[in-house]
Amino acid sequence: MTWIPEAASNLAGKVDGVILVITLISIFFFVLISAVLIYFAVKYRRRRDDEETPYITGSEPLEIIWTVIPSILLILLFVYGFVVYKEMRTPPKDAVDITVTGKQWLWTFDYYNGKKTLNELYVRQNRPVRMIMRADDVLHSFFIPQFRVKQDILPGRYTQLWFTPTKVGTYDLFCAEYCGTGHSQMLAKVIVLSPEAYDIWEKGIGVDEGANVASLPPAELGAKIYKEKGCNACHSIDGSVVIGPSFKGLYGKTGVFEDGSSYTADENYIMKSILEPQEEIVEGFQPVMPSFKGILSDDEVTAVIAYIKTLK
Ligand code: HEC
Ligand SMILES: [Cu+2]
């Protein structure tokens, strides 16, 4: 089926099964009822002006049939739906835990082995994973269409879901709950690795897949980070003010903090802004930028600075 997203988790086929059965039953009854309606409308139409309307009393057998059959169908549908729902809500004992935090407007993932990633969720093919999720600020919703899983996440409470990815590949993760200006930018990728590739990733040092980004020139790597680590949700590169100041012309500019003191945006200032954004707040802005300490490596911060320098 190409009119729905690819099915790439153990649960996807089951969810599709429920939807397919409900849709087919609905189509069947829609066609049946429409056909009977048209047939009766034609057959019992008034043919002459003085024709009398027939007097029809109820039919007990008919009423029993159209009560009992739909009741049985609905009960069967409920049981079928419930069985699949229960499986979706019950993680297997051998599932590994990943902590998910949603905040305006990015996702962070903390793994059982101490790794941490931003806007990229790494999972191993055919291994069940359980997402333990919470929000830092407002309601968000964790949604991976290709896996057919979706769950609201809330501040101050953990919610969870689980799945077993079945196909190697890269899939979309959306926030499915309107959560403010940057909502449409709150995107992440789910990267399903083969068991061998996952082992390599797991042993790798650093916070990201160092291997495939190391070869990029710093400014290009910085541009990639700008998009993939969610800076673009709050910082434009064309001079417009989104949630934070634009990166255009940032390097070397003189600015003012909330407390009235002024600063010059050099390398150290930019680094500090990324790692300790709450220390000093730029005048006219809210203290909403999350810290990227432990999320971006030193090399990545350097790359972002190199990128910002190109935005004159
Ligand atoms: C949730 C929105 C948000 C995200 C995401 C975000 N920032 Fe910010 N950023 C802000 C806001 C708001 C300010 C201004 C207030 C302050 O100083 O903290 C700011 C300030 C800055 C400044 C100082 C700008 C100046 O004009 O002095 C830099 C540099 C910066 N951010 C870099 C980054 C980088 C790099 C990323 C991505 C890795 C990022 N930010 C992600 C909201 C965000
Ligand atoms: Cu959101």
Q: Which residue ranges form the domains of the chain, and what is each CATH number?
A: 12-89 (1.10.287), 96-210 (2.60.40.420), 215-310 (1.10.760.10)
CA of 285 to the centre of ligand 1 (A): 10
Q: What distance in Å separates the CA atoms of residue 136 and residue 106, rounded to the nearest whole number?
A: 10
- Helix 218-228 to helix 298-310 angle (10° resolution) is 100
Please report the atom of ligand 1 found closest to the CA of residue 245: 26
- pLDDT per residue, tens digit, the chain (312 aa), is 578 899 999 999 999 999 999 999 999 999 999 999 999 999 988 888 888 877 888 899 999 999 999 999 999 999 999 999 999 999 999 999 999 999 988 999 998 877 888 899 999 999 999 999 999 889 999 999 999 999 999 998 899 999 999 999 999 999 999 999 889 989 999 999 999 999 888 887 444 444 444 567 788 889 999 988 889 988 999 999 988 999 999 998 999 999 999 999 998 899 999 999 999 999 999 998 988 888 888 888 988 998 998 998
172, 144 Cβ separation under 8 angstroms: yes
User: Do residues 265 and 309 touch, judged by C-beta distance below 8 A?
Assistant: no
* CA dist., res. 188 & res. 174, Å (int): 7
- pLDDT the model gives residue 202: 84
pLDDT given at position 215: 65
Task: Check if 165 has its Cβ closer than 6 Å to any atom of ligand 1.
Answer: no
CB-based contacts of 229, cutoff 8 Å, min separation 6: 106, 118, 119, 292, 295, 296
Q: Which of 224, 273, 281 to mutate to test the pocket of ligand 1 (most atoms within 8 A of CB)?
A: 273
Predicted TM-score (pTM) above 0.95:
no
254 lines ligand 1 (CB under 6 A): no
Atom of ligand 1 nearest to the CA of 301: 35
287 Cβ inside 6 Å of ligand 1:
yes
Residue 212: per-residue pLDDT? 45
Task: Indicate if ligand 1 lies below 6 Å from the C-beta of 281.
Answer: yes
pLDDT at 1: 54
DSSP for residue 295 = T
Centre of ligand 2 to C-alpha 105, Å, is: 6
DSSP secondary structure string for all residues of 111-124: ETTS-EEESEEEEE
Is the CB–ligand 1 distance for residue 180 below 6 Å?
no
